[in-house]
Structure formats: structure tokens, C-alpha cells
Structure 1
Amino acid sequence: MTDAARATVIVPAHNESAVIERCLATLLAGALPGEFQVVVVSNGSHDATAALARSFTSHPVEVVELPAPSKIAALRAGLARARTGVRVVVDADVLLGTSALRELVSALAAAEPNPRAGSPQLAVDTFASSPLVRAYYRTWTRLPYVRTGMIGSGVFAVNLAGASRLSTLPDILNDDEWVRRSFPPPERITTLATFTMTAPRTLRALISRNARAHLGNRELNSKNPGNGNTIGDLIKAVRSREVTPTDALAYFAVVALSRTLARWRLATGRARQWSTDHTSRT
């Protein structure tokens, strides 16, 4: 790996042996030698995550091992090793292809010297999900939070001018949303290419994932309020026939149950409980 790499790609990974090879293979399938500096940060893993990342031979991969599970610590460790202007963070369970990565890197580099954060457009794979989970995502992807620009949900990137803002990355649950809120809308870039997030298979897994996200947003709202979807947005989507009443009801039920679980976790001291969705990693 040389310092001429176009971008540093950081992959935080906690017990991701089921998907780390898939993530790297998709990311680097068309990469040129030395095109990207790739850093996999295995944090608190007790499986083969680090070994599998080291055994990836088609492109050099740096592997850092941290003793404790902490995505924020993993991000800090990866960012500290970045040798290029553009920093890209990719969750181990999402699929980001080489061409989409290049497009994202080029867009952010072209924006210098202005600080910018960006991500490709989100695609959600619900093929193996239950009907209720599919209904939730059919609704969620048609609401303003997803439709109005950079969303993250597994991929975000910053250029050199924006990288300094990550130096203050706090100990938070929702790092993607923290980055999004750190860059106002004029400083966000959404490229035309897509990355794929695999949806949970079961309703239980979806509620658990969303409860953690809700707690993360609640934590952020106390310091830096943001705009999420509202009941008004949901009603508008139904009236415009972008969302069916049945799907809207399923979405509303999932949100209500997720918030109930979040309140229970908060009341019982489990607010920072790790909520890895294993159903989407099979």
C-alpha cells in the first residue's frame, strides 16, 4: 500500500466472520493495486474476523485488533491510520461495490477545499425478510429521511476538509447520524450509485435494531437536534399513495414497539446494550 491511495476505507468489525470476506470482496473486486488503503478494525471480536481479513489476498488489508467491543474506538483507530484525504467508513455487513466507492471518493475530492460528507444512495435487501419487515422498509424508504439526501446507515465518507470534524467523535451509539448532523444539508453529498443494506429477517430483530437507533438519536437530540420522520410525513405519504395504508400501519407499529423497547432499556440500564442483528448476517 502506498501513500498514493485515493482513499482510506475503514471497516469496523465486531464478530463479523460471517460477512467480512463478502464485504471486502465486493468493495475491492475492481480495485487497482494500491488504489485504496483498507483498514479493518476488529474490536472485541472472539471469532475469526481478524484472521479472515488478514487472509484476504486480492488487495492489501491492514488489520487492527482492539481488545474491547466499541465501534467508536474502532473508528478512532482506523481514522488515526488514514494516509489519504478522503475517509470512507463501511460497516462490515453492507455491500459497497468498487465503482460506487470510486464515485463517492471522486465527488468528495472534487469538493475540496470545502468540507463535505457523503454517501451513496441506500438500497435495502428485504428478500429474506418477513412480510412485516418488508412492509416497514417499503414505507421507511419512501419517507423524507431517506429521500432527502445523505443517509449513511452503514456507509459514510468525508473529504480532507471535513475530516477534522471527526476528531471530536464522541462516545455515542449512532455514529452515522452524528456525522450526518455534523454537516448541514449544503455540505452533504449523495452520489447516484447505491450501496446495499440487508434488512433484518424477523420482526424481533428489526425492533431491536431500531430501539438502539432510537436511543442513539435520543442521545444526539440532547446536544444537536435533528429532523426525523414525523406522523405528518407518514400521513402525507399515504394520501399521495406512495405508501399503502397497510404498510403505513405496519411501519407505525414497528416504530411504537421499538420506542417501547428503547424506553425499557433506558429504564433498566441497558441503553448501551449491543444489538447486532445476526439474522441479516446468515
Structure 2
Amino acid sequence: MSVACSILIPAHNEVGYIEQCLEALLASDPCGKGIEVIVMANGCTDATADVARGYASRFAGKGWPLTVLDLAQGGKMGALNAGDRIARHGARIYVDADVTVSPSLVAELAALLDTEEPRYASGAPIVAAAGSAFTRVYARFWAKLPFCTHGVPGFGVFAVNAAGRKRWGDFPDIISDDTFVRLSFTPDERHRAKATYQWPMIEGMAPLVRVRRRQDIGVDEVKAQYPHLWKNHDPVPQDAPPLWQRALRDPAGFAAYALVALAVRLPHSTQDRWARGR
């Protein structure tokens, strides 16, 4: 069983990334119900919208109609709201434009969302780091944190069924859409598919610090503006290895992780609030 889904992809200057994202969706396994894809190009100064439109005939051949919105105003939340306004299906799969899904992920998410009860779902993330040796070491340790290995983190890809989408109206003007949506569901309402997706981590220590600082600001923003949601935060799993054990297993990874964590707390520019994820 599966449910019809709208796949929404916010995209800001994503030439070089959105091609892989769309190719992966084209390679997805068939689903029993209808799928549509909506790309919300927002505030782009490159050819993101045109590149996405170039995939329309191939998606039509797959039976997944593709719509591209070319929005003059930049901003992820506005893009998400614009996509939601035209989405035809109640169940939604939100995919970052630099994410690559595995072939079975969309079908598994559609199956998980096939229920009348409110539900949130995501896949098993694979953190990709290619160019920077520092980022590779950092990512190796970060990917083994309980946040990544347990529960349903949902960074890069998250999905909700029609009943779940009714938990909020428009996306609020905040940084962390994934945190806001994830915490709108209890741990029992969050489900993790076995299928994977690749999520790229930004390259280099200085960019990592900026993005990590932005992530922390985003989480604090949700805690401050929506304190009632924080009760849905995942507790540390009892079977998760303590930090000191993980540090002993990967001293270099822990050193990189600790260095970034310390640097985040140094004085910084307020512009770090708007640092991109890569």
C-alpha cells in the first residue's frame, strides 16, 4: 500500500546539485499511487529553474508530472509555502535540492505515510563529504552521534501525511524547518524508512563553523518560539555509547568535532544566521 504524494524541492542557485537530485528521483522505484514533483526555484541568479524545466518530459514519461515555480523572492520558507499552495496531494515529501535519494526511498516513504493517523517519516541519512579532509574526519564522527543513528532526524528529507500536514499552517519565518516539523510529532509518530539518502556536508572548517552556528541558532529559535514542541525532542537513547567511548574509538574525529563546537561559541558576525548548508 502507498499514498499519493507531492515531492517539494526548494532550490536557490542549485545548478550543479539539482541535476543529481532530479536524476535520483527519476531513478526511483515505481509507487502504487500518484506522485508529482514541484521545484520551487527562489531568488535564483543562475539557471536553476531552466535546468529543472529541462527534466519535465522525462518526468512526464515516468508518470510523475513536474512543475517548476520561478519565484523572484529568495527564502526557503517562502518557497516551501509556495509549493504547498499548489501541491495536489495531501501527503508531502520535502527534499533539499542537494540531496540524492536512493531508488527505494520515495516508495518506502509513500508506504509509511499511508495511514489516517498523523505521521512523520524520513530515511536513513548518509553524510557525504568529498573535498575537505577536515570535513571527512568531522563528518565521520558527526554521523555516529545519537541524533543521526537513532530516531528520525530528517535533515535533507522529511515527509508527512495529510493528517500530519494539518499540524501547522504556513511554514513560519524561522531557520530550521526540519527541526520545527520533526518536533511537531511525538517520537512514536516519527518513522524511519530503511532506504537511504545522501546529504552533503559543507567543506572546510570555517564554513562548518558558520553552518553549525546557524544550526544551533535555528534550534534555539524553535525552543524559544515553540516551547511546547520541545517535549517531543528525542532523549539520548539508553543504548547509545557515551561520548568518551566514541572519542576513544575515533580520536581524530572527536578532535575535529570538539574544535568546531568550541569555535561556534566564539564571537561572530550576525550574518552567520544566514549561512548556507554548504
Residue 49 of structure 1 is matched in structure 2 by: 48
Q: 1:24 to 1:257 in 2, by over 3 A?
A: same
* AA aligned opposite 1:210: R
User: SS of the residue aligned with 2:88?
Assistant: coil
**In the TM superposition, what are the counterparts of 1:1-282 in structure 2 within 5 Å?**
6-30=4-28, 35-56=34-55, 57-59=57-59, 60-109=65-114, 112-126=115-129, 128-222=130-224, 223-224=226-227, 225=230, 227=233, 236-239=242-245, 243-260=249-266, 264-266=268-270, 270=271, 272-277=273-278
Q: Does the CA-based 8 Å contact 1:144-1:229 persist in structure 2?
A: no
Q: Tell me, yes or no, if the aligned pair for 1:8 and 1:37 is still in contact at 8 Å.
A: yes
The one-letter code of the counterpart of 1:63 is V
CA distance in 2, matches of 1:242, 1:16: 38
Deviations 1:187-206 (A, max 9, x none): 10111111001222222222
For residue 165 of structure 1, give the secondary structure of its aligned residue in structure 2: coil
Q: Would the alpha carbon gap of residues 274 and 125 (structure 1) be closer, same or farther in structure 2, given more than 3 Å must change?
A: closer
Shift in Å, 1:54:
0.8
Which amino acid in the other structure matches residue 159 of structure 1? N
Is the 8 Å Cα contact of residues 140 and 251 (structure 1) preserved in structure 2? yes
> Which has the larger displacement, 184-193 or 28-37?
28-37
Aligned-partner SS, 2:269? helix
SS at match of 2:255: helix
Structure 2: how far apart are the matches of 1:206 and 1:228?
Answer: 24
Deviation at 1:32, TM superposition (A): 5.1
In structure 2, list runs of 5 or more residues that go unmatched.
Answer: 60-64
TM-score, reference length from structure 2: 0.86
Give CA-to-partner distance per residue, 1:25-83, whole Å, 9 cap, x none.
10122455984110000110111011111111210310112111110001111111121
Structure 1 segments of 4 or more deviating over 6 A? none
| Alpha-carbon distance in structure 2 between the residues aligned to 1:5 and 1:228 | 27
**How far apart, CA to CA, are the structure 2 residues paired with 1:252 and 1:229?**
21
The 2-side partners of 1:245 and 1:142 are apart by 13
TM-score, normalization by structure 1:
0.85
Superposition CA RMSD, Å:
2.6
